[in-house]
Amino acid sequence: GAQSEERECAFNDQQQQDWPMTRENTTIRCSKGSRCYGLWEKTRDGEIHLVKQGCWTHIGDQQECHDDRCVVTTTPSQIQNGTYRFCCCSTNMCNVNFTEDFPPPSPTSAQLYPRPLYREETIVIALASVSIVAVLIVALFFGYRMLSGDRKQGLHNMDMMEAAASEPSLDLDSLKLLELIGRGRYGSVYKGSLDERPVAVKVFTYQNRLNFVNERAIYRVPLLEHDNIARFIVGDERLTADGRVEYLLVMEYYPHGSLCQYLSLQTGDWVSCCRLTHSVTRGLAYLHTELLRGDIYKPAVSHRDLNSRNVLVKNDGTCVISDFGLSMKLTGNRLVRPGEEENAAISEVGTVRYMAPEVLEGAVNLRDCESALKQVDMYALGLIYWETFMRCTDLFPGEAVPDYQMAFQAEAGNHPSFEDMQVLVSREKERPKFPEAWKENSLAVRSLKETMEDCWDQDAEARLTAQCSEERMAELLLIWDRTKSVSPTVNPMTTTLQNER
C-alpha cells in the first residue's frame, strides 16, 4: 500500500529551482512510491545544520527506506570528515528530524595518549626497530631476487591467494576464442565461449602485463559488482602454442558492443538516450563512491580513460563501464596503482580526444588528487552526453539526425594529436558545438545543455560530481515523462509546462 500512495515530506532546498513535485512552504507532496529523506551536517562541536530535505525516488538502490523514522545507519564517510548524516524513511513528515544508530568507532581507532617512555624502554624499542628494519631489507632483497629469477612464476604466486578468495574455480581449458571483435591500446578483444556460454576475452601481451594486473585488481575490488559496471568472470595467464606468455581477462559478453559502435548504427528517442546516459552516470557515481559495509571496504575508484569506446551497451538499452587498465583506487589522497609513483604518470593518461584541460596542461591538482581525478572523469562524461544526444531523434524535429561523430571530430578530425587538443581545449577553450535545432528555449533542452556545460567546465572544481549528474539525468527523464504528450523541444511558455512549474 505504501508504494501506491502519495507521500508528504518535510522540504528544504534553497538551490532547487524547478522541483518536479508539488510543494508548499516547508512541505512537499511526493509522487507515488517515493520516500522522504534528509541530509544534515553535524559539526565537530555537535551543532546540527540542515542541508536538504525532500522526496527520495531512488528506491531501487540499496537504501530501501522502510523505517517509519529517519534513522542514520551508515557510518559517515571519513572523506567528508564524518560530518554528513543521511537518512530516509517511509511515513509522512518522517524526515523532520533524525536519530543515529550506527556502530561506534572501535577503541583501536580512537587516539591514544601514551605515558612517557623511560630511558631503558626507549633503548629497547630503538634496538628492536633497527632489527626489524634489517630483517625487512634482507627479506626484500631475497624477494626481489626470486621475482626477477622467474617473473611469470612470481606473478602467479603473488596473486594466487587473492584469486582463490575472489574468483570461481573455472577450467580455462574449455575457453575458445572465436572471433576478433576489437583491438585497443593494450590488447585485443575476442568473442569466445567458456563452458559453452558466450564471453568476451581481453588478451594482453607480456609487454602490457602491468595493465592486466591493474585491471584485474580493479575488478577484484570488494563490492564492485554493479548493474552498470562490466561483469568480470576470471583473469589468468597462459602459454601460447609458440611458448609466449599472455594474460586473459574473461568478461560477460555484450552483443551490442561499445556505445561508440551502438550510436554509429542507430538513433534513439529522448527516453532511450536518457537511459543510456543515466546508466553510464550511475555506474560512474558508484565507482566514485567509497563504501563501508560491515568489515568490507570499497575505496573510491577513478576510471581515468572514460570514453564512448570504454562503455558497453546491454540488451535492455542501458550501459556498463569497462576497461579499467588505467584506473586507480583512491583512498583519501593516497593513490593505489602498481608502478605509478611519479606525478606525470598519475595525471597524463587517457585518450587524447577526451582529456580534460588540466590533463592537457599537466596541471592536475595532485594536492587533492581524489577530487581532481574524479573531475577528470566528469569532463569525459560530458563529452559522452554530447555524443549520445546528437543521435536523439526528438532533438531534431522535422529534420534528419546527424551521422554519429565523436567529440571534437568536426574540429580536430579522426586522429588528433596531444598538441592539437592542447590548443583546442586548453588554450582556445573550445567544446563540442550545440546544433541549431537545440536553440529552442525549452526546459528539457536548456537543462540538457546546462548539464553538459557543468560537466566539461574549464574550471575542474566547478564541475558536477557524478552523484549530482546522476540526479540531473534522472530529472531529464522525468521532464520528458511528465510532458510525453508533447515534444521536449516545445516552448516552455506553453500552458502545459507553466502548470507543471
Q: Catalytic amino acids? A: 305
Q: Is 51 exposed, middle or buried (0-12, 13-18, 19+ CB in 10 A)?
A: middle
C-alpha cell at 362: 599537466
C-alpha cell at 189: 578483444
Annotated binding site: 202
CA dist 459 and 358 (Å) reads 9
Q: Is 66 exposed, middle or buried (0-12, 13-18, 19+ CB in 10 A)?
A: exposed
3-class SS at 325?
Answer: coil
Determine contact, residues 302/288, Cβ cutoff 8 Å.
Answer: yes
Determine contact, residues 192/175, Cβ cutoff 8 Å.
Answer: yes
- Tally Cβ neighbours within 10 Å of residue 303: 26
CA dist 203 and 206 (Å) reads 10
CA dist 351 and 406 (Å) reads 12
Annotated binding site for ATP: 202
CA dist 113 and 302 (Å) reads 37
Angle at 200 between CA 198 and CA 206, to 5 degrees: 140
C-alpha cell at 482: 511528465
With the CA atoms of 458, 306, 214 and 302 taken in that order, what torsion angle do they form, in degrees rounded to the nearest 10? 50
